[in-house]
């Protein structure tokens, strides 16, 4: 399949883990990919791997919590490829996340965390929506989490905010033919998850799921490609759980 031939996509947080898989899958279906991340070394390596495999990718450093940095990556993309068709807002503080309570987490850390994990999606969307509108439309996928429906402290708060942001922006962007949806993964077997979630907690989560295993980044790829593609041309404002049946919601 080549649903994204001649299309350009920015994937934030694409230097590793889930974002890396999204970037590689989009390139495999013909997209020109901007691998956007703060990690220059790993992000550059991902772009090189895509190029070596016959795809098109360029690394660009970005701090999504800074509106100027978000605007700069959008301008860079337009300069390189002349258009922006799709955006994946995947960047997040997760693997190195401070474990603390909402009542006691240092305020400066909380503000930076929310600046990346919630405001970052809005900053990037604000940076790309006008070019998308000018060319006739586009699509955006935000990365949420099933943490939005469980006790997960400020991480869950940020993801609940992503869900609401997705729904609100769907209405603001609809008249510009720009669709925006979100994916809510359950527990995913990544380096980041292994670094912060104790093994016994992971075991309990798996026991409570309908499908008795952790997810993988590859499990999320199909949902991301579908929501970005024309196959979902009448789908917007939705939050799609990809979680092995971990969370049931009406």
The CA-based diameter of the chain, rounded to the nearest angstrom, is: 50
H helix runs in the chain, sequence order: 17-28, 40-52, 67-81, 107-117, 119-135, 153-174, 191-196, 199-208, 217-228
User: Are the beta carbons of 140 and 183 closer than 8 angstroms?
Assistant: no
Query: Which residue out of 109, 151, 155, 226 is catalytically annotated?
Result: 155
Distance CA 44, CA 108 (A): 30
Distance CA 7, CA 54 (A): 16
Q: Is 151 a catalytic residue?
A: no
Distance CA 71, CA 54 (A): 28
- List, in order, residues 6 or more apart from 237 with CB less than 8 Å away: 166, 167, 170, 171, 180, 181
Q: What amino acid positions are annotated as catalytic residues?
A: 155
């Amino acid at each position: 399949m080549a649903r994204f031939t001649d299309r350009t996509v920015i994937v934030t947080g694409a230097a590793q883990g889930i974002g890396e898989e999204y970037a590689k899958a989009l390139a495999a279906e013909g997209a020109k990919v901007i691998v956007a991340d703060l990690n220059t070394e790993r992000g550059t390596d991902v772009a090189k791997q895509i190029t070596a495999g016959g795809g098109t990718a360029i690394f660009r450093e970005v701090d999504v919590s800074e509106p100027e940095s978000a605007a700069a990556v959008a301008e860079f993309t337009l300069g390189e490829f002349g258009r922006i068709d799709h955006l994946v807002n995947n960047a997040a503080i997760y693997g190195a996340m401070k474990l603390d309570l909402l009542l006691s987490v240092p305020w400066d850390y909380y503000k930076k965390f929310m600046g990346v994990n919630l405001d970052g999606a809005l900053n990037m969307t604000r940076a790309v929506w006008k070019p998308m509108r000018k060319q006739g439309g586009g699509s955006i996928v935000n990365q949420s989490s099933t943490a939005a429906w469980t006790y997960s402290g400020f991480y869950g708060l940020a993801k609940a905010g992503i869900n609401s942001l997705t729904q609100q922006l769907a209405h603001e962007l609809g008249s510009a033919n720009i669709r925006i949806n979100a994916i809510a993964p359950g527990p995913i077997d990544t380096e980041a998850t292994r670094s912060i979630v104790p093994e016994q907690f992971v075991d309990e989560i798996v026991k409570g799921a309908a499908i008795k295993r952790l997810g993988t980044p590859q499990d999320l790829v199909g949902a991301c490609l579908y929501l970005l593609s024309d196959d979902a041309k009448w789908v917007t404002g939705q939050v799609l759980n990809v979680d092995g049946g971990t969370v049931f919601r009406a």
